[in-house]
Amino acid sequence: GTGVSSVAFAEAGVHVVPCDFSVGMLQAGKKVRPTLNFVAGDGTKLPFADDTFDAVTISFGLRNFVDTVGGLREMRRVTRPGGKLVVCEFSHPTNAAFRTLYLEYLMKGLPAVARGVSSSPDAYVYLAESIRAWPDQAGLSALLQEAGWTNVEHRNLTGGIVALHRGVA
């Protein structure tokens, strides 16, 4: 994407390589973060050799992959043995009552607000639909394992609206 999640790593002295399918996103990121080495690439066919990285991360982008398991396998391919994966993605609130309220807001409230304030309200409809259709925490954990990641764990943030999943190559 635009390299937002790469900034903290780069500031800590880590060599980061932000990669995204969207050249427009990369161009926007390069304008704001010119020191990062952005690379255009398809997440299901990454332009890197096997065992290149000590860690791979993805934030709020895995939902956009046509082949989620294929993308996770590809991230596994480019990660050195023992390397880490961290996925930050929307998920499912763990409290049933809160989940009901959240889904009502997501499917009705968010699109209504977007129609009033956004020049691209359809993007918010897509966002809501993609979040609703996304697997829950256990479901995403299973996909990580299917893709070859081990020691898979997750941690809920904001009551499960977002979850961090991690695994080891």
Element (DSSP H or E) covering residue 153:
strand 150-157
- Looking at the structure, tell me whether residues 103 and 57 fall in a common domain: no
Looking at the fold, whether 100 and 117 belong to one and the same domain comes out as: yes
Q: How far apart are alpha carbons 90 and 62 in whole angstroms? A: 10
Tens digit of each residue's pLDDT (9 = 90 or more) over 67-110: 999 999 999 999 999 999 999 999 999 999 999 999 888 888 88
Amino acid found at 45: K
pLDDT computed for residue 72 by the predictor: 98
Mean pLDDT across 6-29: 94
Domains in the chain, number: 2
Domain identity same for 74 and 46: yes
Question: Which tokens in the block code for residue 130?
Answer: 């993609």
Whether 128 and 138 map to the same domain: the answer is no
Is residue 32 packed enough to be buried (19+ CB in 10 Å), middle (13-18) or exposed (0-12)?
exposed
Q: Quick one: tokens of 42?
A: 């398809």
Instruction: Give yes or no: residues 61 and 10 share one domain.
Output: yes
Domain range spanning residue 118? 94-133
pLDDT beyond 90 at 111: no
Residue found by looking up tokens 């926007």 in the block: 28
Tokens of 3: 């390299």
**pLDDT reported for residue 1:** 84
Average pLDDT, rounded, for the chain: 94
81 and 113 together in one domain: no
What is the model's pTM? Answer: 0.90
